[in-house]
Amino acid sequence: GAVVSQHPSWVICKSGTSVKIECRSLDFQATTMFWYRQFPKQSLMLMATSNEGSKATYEQGVEKDKFLINHASLTLSTLTVTSAHPEDSSFYICSAKTGGKGYTFGSGTRLTVV
């Protein structure tokens, strides 16, 4: 089946630095990638939707300049958390449309900002 590989699975960074999270579709072309944020024991909150070759569409309240999304190819989408602060610590998950009505999710990235 369709697989999305997400890296890193966890990362610790210092406050003020930037962190890049990658999601790669391994055996299909991901024209659309969704990026979610999840706090402990809470639901997935959609941050943005990216389509290959175009600018991402951000949900209301999500800072575009802080959460930079790039979807330059059909197999790679990246989320960069810029100038990270402790309040950005969270679990980030990507999800790709796999054609038809299906979606496949990455395994998530636990970000801790110290």
Partner 1 sequence: AQTVTQSQPEMSVQEAETVTLSCTYDTSESDYYLFWYKQPPSRQMILVIRQEAYKQQNATENRFSVNFQKAAKSFSLKISDSQLGDAAMYFCAYRSPYGGATNKLIFGTGTLLAVQP
Binding site for partner 1 (CB under 8 A): 32, 34, 38, 41-44, 46, 49, 57, 91, 93, 95, 97, 101-103, 105, 107-108
Task: Give least dist CB 16 to partner 1, A.
Answer: 27
Distance CA(52)–CA(56), nearest Å, equals 9
What tokens does 53 get?
Answer: 């070759």
Task: Give least dist CB 48 to partner 1, A.
Answer: 10
Judged by beta carbon, residue 19 or residue 34, the one nearer partner 1 is 34
DSSP bridge pairs for 18: none
Judged by beta carbon, residue 24 or residue 97, the one nearer partner 1 is 97
Mention every residue, 6+ apart, whose C-beta is less than 8 A from residue 95.
Answer: 4, 33, 34, 35, 36, 103, 104, 105, 106
Task: Give least dist CB 49 to partner 1, A.
Answer: 5
